[in-house]
Amino acid sequence: MKTVALVSGGKDSCYNILHCIKNGHDVVALANLHPPPPQSIVSDEDDVIHEMDSFMYQTVGHSVLNLYSDCFEIPMYRAPITGSSVTTKLDYATTAADETEDLYTLLQTVKAVHPDIEAVSVGAILSTYQRSRVENVCSRLGLTVLAYLWQRDQAALFDEMIQGGINAIVIKVAGAGLTAERHLGRSLEQVRHQLFKLNQMYGSHICGEGGEYETLVLDCPVFVKKLVVDETQIVNDDNGDVAYLKLRAHAEDKDAVAEEWIDNIAVPPLLSEPFQGIFEDLKGTDFGSNNAEMVVSPAAVPELSIGISPTTISVANITAPNSSFLSDEITSIFEQLSNVMATFKITDPYSITSITFQLSDMQNFPAANESYKNFFSHPVTKPNPPARACISTLLPSSCRASLAAIITRVPEARSGLHVQGRSYWAPANIGPYAQACTVQECIYLAGQIPLIPARMVLYKDEGVLGQAVLAMQHLARVMDAAVVRRSEDDHGQFYYLTAYTSSLAAAKAAIRVASRTGVECGVFAVVVAALPVGAWVEYGGVGINTRYIRSCTTGDVDEEDEFTVKYSKHDRIDRVEYGAVVFGSWCCDDIISEIANYLETKTEALLSISAFISSSVSDAHEVRMRLKEIVGINVCVEIVHVKYVVDKDCIIRNYGVVVRGY
């Protein structure tokens, strides 16, 4: 794709450009925002703002950035920062007079001159604040974000930059252990030992993601000319905690770099070490045929069902009769969902945390998704739409779509993870659905299919096993990123896992892979009609943040943590949700008995039941009616018709039921 690169002069933005080129993109322009010029017509050097406070942009060193156009030999577009940090929330919604809107205006200008530009390069590594703002701007302009450094291990990344030919110096220090005299003007190689030492001692960020230092790139493999520093002056702030360099420099011709430079740009392996190990352990396993099986769709349409708890509403089986246009059916489904929410005085779609979207035919996905977008488009909803899993199931012939949703009644306790940029981390979610949505301790996870994140294409090289391992890695990475950490003891673990698959072979592979990850929860697989983009495996489920378990069950509340203080003692917050999977092998009596026996062991209240019923079952309607009898009117009973249910031991069952309580 034709790409404009956001550059600050720092190592991260330049190194991401190299990765854009490595991935086949064509960087045709640069863009930079800088401090505003002096107000007076007559001004001297003392009036120039060399460094300004900005939550969003690196501004130190901006006085030499005009030379980057000569260095890269491509046009650079620059504009002053006129806004301020009006909103400092991590997740950004369009805000007048915010400095983020300066980026929107700048990129709008670039697009006007280069209408063929499709993507934006950004060097974000760990900053959700920066990433969400760039993604907001790019989504409004129809541009794809390329953020290949996102969530990379900083120690490995730092060394890769050096090995990849990034010649940068430190031009600002603002962290403990870094001083003007010892570190300003030093190269990455020269400060490496100190940065790694500070990381071990204090946990400081090796790549400076905590604002510990800033850099200026003097040369890199794609520079046609290099920067040569002519003069420097150290400037200390009033407290002596921060210091930076005023610079004068010029661009100078350099020897041509061998084309082999691109081989020195390290790309992380598709599978990280633990998941590569799982793949190697299971390689060669015979999972059986991967051919799809023909089945007959059920005749009856499940009735709308609603479950209620003090803080959560679960609604399922929302369908609409066939009409001439699929868009009308999807619109009707969301109108019914809105009516349910309105019953509980909820009007904001932001309160929806998770959606399961069933289609009778995956070929209808593009049209259905367009209608789906209308409900979650800005400015209707806030940042971070709900997590979503999309599957093609055995819906009755009288309807083409069905929707289930989980809705929080305490939206102030809700947050999300919605990464829209391409990276090596996990697939981007460009549409109106987040990778994860968190409400207190619960982490609702979107369905993850085995896309190659950097290119957003389906991974096909290693059959059902390769797809299962990659999809599981995506789900684990998303949950890890969604966890709110305040200590080393905070981590995520799974409540339950559902593997949606397109064949029995894929189901068995998905079960075996999940078991190798050390998952200690209910897990099962179902064989459905089809998955997005022809994938064979899609993992979904719910995770838990252990920090909130400690505060809710032991009273171990961090008094300095405003969130847990507020919500761990809140009368309207559900305690730890439980999730379990109950299997029935043969008849209706079997599964009803199993569920009744399980519920007798639980003191928690019941919120919902999701019953996955095999196509070989002829008594699905009776199952639903008897489930309602034993669970009561305030419990949601979701019915999902699938081809097969496969338990954790890879045994085919007639029923798989997920029980959720609070």
Domains annotated for the chain, with CATH where assigned, are: 2-256 (3.40.50.620), 273-287+301-661 (3.30.1330.40)
Question: CB atoms < 10 A from the CB of 456, how many?
Answer: 13
List the structure tokens of 120: 């934006």
Is residue 81 classed exposed, middle or buried when 0-12, 13-18 and 19+ CB atoms within 10 A define those classes?
buried
- Tell me, what's the pLDDT at 302? 84
What is the pLDDT, as a whole number, of residue 297?
Answer: 66
Contact 119, 144 (CB under 8 A): yes
* Binned average pLDDT, 10 residues per bin, the chain of 662 residues: 97 98 98 83 56 82 94 97 89 89 97 98 94 93 97 97 97 92 96 96 94 96 96 85 93 89 96 96 91 69 90 95 91 96 93 95 91 73 84 91 95 91 94 88 93 97 96 95 71 85 96 88 89 96 74 48 37 42 69 81 80 80 83 89 90 86 76
* Stated length of the chain: 662
Query: What pLDDT was estimated at residue 571?
Result: 32
Exposed e or buried b per residue across 303-326, where buried means at least 16 C-beta atoms within 10 angstroms of its C-beta? eebbbbbebbbbbbbbbbebeeeb
By CB atoms closer than 10 A (0-12, 13-18, 19+), residue 107 is buried
Note the pLDDT of residue 91: 84
SS3 331: helix
pLDDT at 268: 97
Instruction: Give the single-character DSSP code of 434.
Output: B
Contact of 483 with 443, CB cutoff 8 Å: yes
Sign of the torsion formed by the C-alpha atoms of 609, 610, 616 and 618: positive
Looking at residue 573, its pLDDT comes to: 33
